[in-house]
Amino acid sequence: MKRIIDKANRIYAEHGDDLDQIVESLGLNVVTDRLAGRLKEYHVGDSIVVNESVSEKERRELIAHAIGHHLFHAGNHLAMQKRIYSFGNYHEKQANVFAACLLMPSERFLKIIKGRPRLDEIAGHFGVREELVRMRFMVWVNYERDLTGRQSARVG
């Protein structure tokens, strides 16, 4: 997971959280479409396809998630389906961790949580949903907390 967190921080350092710019720099493009059923996002070739019915916050998360797949899984969800039983969930988790760390990069996240804000305040600050903030805390607790010299922020 460390390399995923590092990669997200590096991309943030270069582009900020301007997803349009990141998408373009990777030679990708985002297509908004009416997707059937529960499918919210998929990634085929150079295109990230996002369901038109999602909120702006969720749209940002889905695009960041799809960038994660692009960077680490070198392919698309269709190609991954063959491996879904062995790697499927792990790949999803990696893409979610990447999205959480790109939209809430380490330095900014640590600065914010020092003030012990509520979950919804953090979500509002970063323009994401509370679920992604929970994911970000999980990453921090499991992979970053010890590296930053015993931060004392309380989770949950």
- Pair 1, 91: CB distance under 8 Å: no
The count of chain residues that interact with Zn ion, using the rule CB under 5 A, is 1
Query: Which of the residues 78 through 97 are near Zn ion (CB under 5 A)?
Result: 95
Nearer to Zn ion, 13 or 39 (CB): 39
Q: Which residue is nearest to Zn ion (CB)?
A: 95
Written as six digits, the tokens of 103 are 């939209």
To Zn ion, the closest distance from the beta carbon of 77 in angstroms equals 6
d(CA 151, CA 77): 37
Nearer to Zn ion, 49 or 95 (CB): 95
To Zn ion, the closest distance from the beta carbon of 69 in angstroms equals 5
To Zn ion, the closest distance from the beta carbon of 66 in angstroms equals 7
Nearer to Zn ion, 67 or 95 (CB): 95
Q: Is 47 helix (H, G, I), strand (E, B) or coil?
A: strand
**Partners of 49 in the beta sheet?**
31, 42
CA angle 104, 110, 111 (to 5 degrees): 100
**Partners of 32 in the beta sheet?**
50
Nearer to Zn ion, 88 or 124 (CB): 88
Q: Give the interface with Zn ion as residue ranges (CB under 5 A).
A: 95
